[in-house]
Amino acid sequence: MRPIVDVASDLGISASDIEPYGRDKAKIPLDSFPSNASGGKLIVVTAITPTPAGEGKSTTAVGLVQGLAKIGKRAALTIRQPSLGPVFGAKGGGTGGGKATVQPAEEINLHLTGDFHAMMSAHNLLAAMTDNVVYRHQIDGFEAEGITWRRVTDAEDRALRNAAVGLNGDGPMRQTGYDISAASEIMAILALANGYEDLRNRLGDIVVGWTRDRTPVTADQIGGVGSMMALLRDALKPNLCQTLEGQPAIVHMGPFGNIAHGCSSILADQLAIATADYVVTEAGFGADLGFEKFMDIKVRQGGPKPDAAVVVCTVRGLKYHGGVDLKELTTPNADAVKIGTDNLRNALRITSLFGLNAVVAINRFPEDTPEELKAIKTAALDAGAKGVAEANGFAEGGDGMKELAEMVVAVADAGSDISLIYDDEVSTIDKVELMADRLYGADRVVWGRMTRTTARRFEANGWKFPICMAKTHLSVSANARLRNVPTGHVLPIQELRISAGARQIVTLAGDIMTLPGLPSKPNALDIDLDDDGQIFGVLGT
In terms of domains, do 379 and 283 share one? yes
Same domain, 330 and 298: yes
Is 109 within a domain? Answer: no
Residue 130 contacts residue 147 (beta carbons within 8 Å): yes
Q: Are 266 and 381 in a shared domain?
A: yes
**Residue 361 host element (H or E):** strand 358-363
Q: What range defines the domain where residue 439 resides?
A: 428-509
Are 185 and 315 part of one and the same domain? no
Q: Are 257 and 283 in contact (CB under 8 A)?
A: yes
User: Has residue 528 been placed in a domain?
Assistant: no
The pLDDT of residue 437: 97
Q: In this predicted model, what pLDDT tens digit does every residue of 351-374 receive, in sequence order? A: 999 999 999 999 999 999 999 999
Give Rg (Cα) of the chain: 23
What CA–CA distances, in Å, run from 498 to 144, 227, 317?
18, 23, 35
Quick: pLDDT tens for 383-439. Answer: 999 999 999 999 999 999 999 999 999 999 998 999 999 999 999 999 999 999 999
Do 298 and 178 fall into the same domain?
Answer: no
450: left (phi over 0), alpha (psi -120 to 50) or beta: left
d(CA 160, CA 515): 8
17 vs 4: CA distance, rounded Å: 12
| Same-domain pairing of 289 and 155 | no
Average pLDDT in the 209-218 region?
A: 97
256 and 389 share one domain: yes
Nearest to 170, CA basis, from 135, 146, 141: 135
What is d(CA 309, CA 347) in angstroms, rounded to the nearest whole number?
11
CA 108/CA 98 separation, integer angstroms: 16
The C-alpha angle with vertex 437 and arms to 433 and 442, in degrees rounded to 5, equals 100
> What integer pLDDT is reported at residue 37 of this predicted model?
66
Q: Considering its fold, how many domains does the chain have in total? A: 3
As a whole number of Å, the end-to-end CA separation of the chain is 14
User: What's the CATH number where 501 sits?
Assistant: 3.10.410.10
User: Phi first, then psi: what are they for 406, rounded to 5°?
Assistant: -60, -45
Residue 311's pLDDT band (boundaries 50, 70, 90)? very high
CA distance 541 to 536: 9
Instruction: State the DSSP H helix or E strand holding residue 68, giving kind and residue range, or none if neither.
Output: helix 57-70
What value, to the nearest 5°, has the Cα angle with vertex 262 and ends 278 and 47?
A: 65
Q: State the pairing for strand pair 41-47/444-447.
A: unpaired
Co-location of 432 and 395 in the same domain:
no
Instruction: Indicate if 399 and 474 belong to the same structural domain.
Output: no
| Interatomic CA distance for residues 3 and 403, integer angstroms | 29
| Length, in residues, of the chain | 541
Q: Are residues 137 and 64 in the same domain?
A: no
Q: Which residues are CB-neighbours of 202 under 8 A, at least 6 positions away?
A: 189, 192, 193, 501, 502, 503
- Name the residue among 217, 229, 225 with its Cα closest to residue 134: 217
* Same structural domain, 203 and 279: no
**Based on the domain organization, do 142 and 214 belong to the same domain?**
yes
**Domain-embedded: residue 327:** yes
What average pLDDT does this structure show over 266-290? 95
Single pTM value for the model: 0.95
CATH number of the domain bearing residue 154: 3.30.1510.10
Q: How far apart are CA 377 and CA 374, in angstroms?
A: 5
The alpha-helical segments, DSSP class H, found in 313-427 are 315-321, 334-353, 370-382, 393-396, 402-414
243, 65 contact by CB (below 8 A):
yes
Widest pairwise Cα distance in the chain: 70
- What confidence tens digit (pLDDT) does each residue in 25-50 have? 999 999 999 876 668 999 999 999 99
Domain assignment present for 539:
no
Residue 168: pLDDT band by 50, 70, 90 thresholds?
confident
Is residue 240 helix, strand or coil? strand
In a domain, 31, yes or no: no
Q: Is 98 in contact with 62 (CB distance < 8 Å)?
A: no
